[in-house]
A and B are shown apart, each in its own frame.
Chain A
């Protein structure tokens, strides 16, 4: 593997170079609130590699909350339909992606593009992308990627991977695109001692989870077995379901959740014209799983919750993603009005096992 070094003061050059060819996205701190967002960067100086894990999942770049994917016009007199797909094929660079979020995006890749049917809209967002990951040398309060094998350092899927070694960043190259950029920047080569230092930093970070990542502890492996085989007791799901407010937040914030809704919105100013919107959706909503004819296979709310956790924690889903669906970012615990983020659910299912 090729490795380079870049001085802390120079790390901004990576985004600068990328901005010539790509629309740049990265972590920034919103001033009025102190909240981190992973968003389109207008001022490159705003990228903050030390910012805590972004509050929003970077999946929004490839899978926006609401996007127009098609415009159509029906001409009644000619009985003709005009359809215009609306894909934004713009090269995008993600700078400073956290490892868990990259793992989430890889799950989405497998969902949207890795099966029989390839999702054109997603593909068009995702192709021509440059990814720069950022190793977490300290975890954050709600993190548990060590339990889901998705951090605190990225292993695959990046073009460049950055690790803060103190005065400089280690730059690991993960692709030809990455190598080309490193060459263009004329970076100094790094050697084994630097890699050893990185590994030390990662081990230290893992050791810090005990004290820092206190909000979330999710021992996932035992629970996976239970969830997959359906042995988790019904009362546990009921206990969880009673606490669900059906807000949809856990799905929206999850870097690997892919539920969406399609809505055609007619234009009151143009008869026969409509926009087709794709919006985030959630399996926690009653209307989501409803089938035509009034049969809803997942009517009671505890069943709908069950589906989400099944999605995140079962082996069968793992086969699809080639990894657990949960990447340990802890966001769902943050936003859940019912206090049933994934770590708590894991605790409840485990409690049942140990009992």
Chain B
């Protein structure tokens, strides 16, 4: 029977590339220039080269043609259906007028960013998973947050745990590398970070039974794909505290620790910063880790980009019992005050929605601020020690506790944006709670090790608006509410801040909205075909600024839709992109 597996591996290594017939004549691809290290360090404002636009994960566009005055004149330039269905977390990348769009199942399309013409398509051929590996199949179908651009290549991370380098001009495979074993459950669900001539990537699937004991952030050589270093978030023999924090549980019975979001990079410090997710099994009763903090789950880790050596870590949620991951985007902010530059790392790292600021040179805790209703953290000391609410730790199998936020957030994968104009961090959030009940069940291949039953997502008591766009003003000493936009349908996309003074964000009710960065006033909105998904981004071609908005289902829309039944979600999947620009005559 293992023969079957080998056969699928063979099939998997054959990839298909096809070309659009008319792309040859005079294609924008002819003028495609390499994405150099210098461009990555200083991205041109006309491009969108990363998941969040720059190494600092700002989610900020320097373009300002679309601004508070002109945004009312946005109109549709073109639209495009994605090549596959599946949960939507994508971000289109744009360089030299070429848009690279990846969809679930490892499909990448190159499009002319001005006209919407297809230039080439790459389809990764995936092994067929056994039907009973349902969790793994679902995870693999989830659209990744991004691909990465480097030199003349497009770097793709695949659901079968490969790195694939495509020629940006043709979509042909330059090389591919099997990084980890998909048969154990490993899969990539996020894109890589290109830094210091390395591909820095983080694996997912670490809460699938077969992956016990190993969850990795890795560096591979940008030219050859050779591995340079790896860091295991579940087992760090160099730090005895890490092992002790799991109590008696040996590495082979540890799961989770998944870095679910692409990291940030500070070239000056030579450090790359990553967030780490929850431990598995979710409840300490089943996990067997007693009162241990289970490092490095729910922590920020700072790694030396050259060696992968751990410089510091800070744990945002020790002793997680509720699947309240803290892996989300880490954002690097420099603020100069009285001649002193403060190097901050800010984040709403976890599902519980608490915002944090750290000193990113040392990992020292600076401040935290609650956003949505949460009841799992009872107190955070001056020195940054986080205390959990022990009343919410189940002590018996079958004992339900009502945890806020819910397994679907609070905060989820949808990334916030930092605007240097307003020194404000804009974050999409959800008000929700759910019952969490530990269960005891035997693990099976391809399936998750949570061992917890989740109740339906419900609104916290006294709240009837599930959606929150939060604007947090940021200083080295405090974060505070600048404004809050509350609404019933939940935010379902990342947000984008722009030099035009706007914040774009979308919701389950299919509206893409433009907020005034200062006041939160909605200056423009447009209803589309499906919940707004992925990350809206902005770019410029031939002097015109464009806004691209992905749509389609994500877990964020489906799991809490009972909180806004008056806004029924569509039956169809809808994965598409919509591209807007200003009306010609309005300019």
Do A and B bind?
no
Q: Which B residues are within 8 Å of any A CB, using their own CB? A: none
Q: Which A residues are within 8 Å of any B CB, using their own CB? A: none
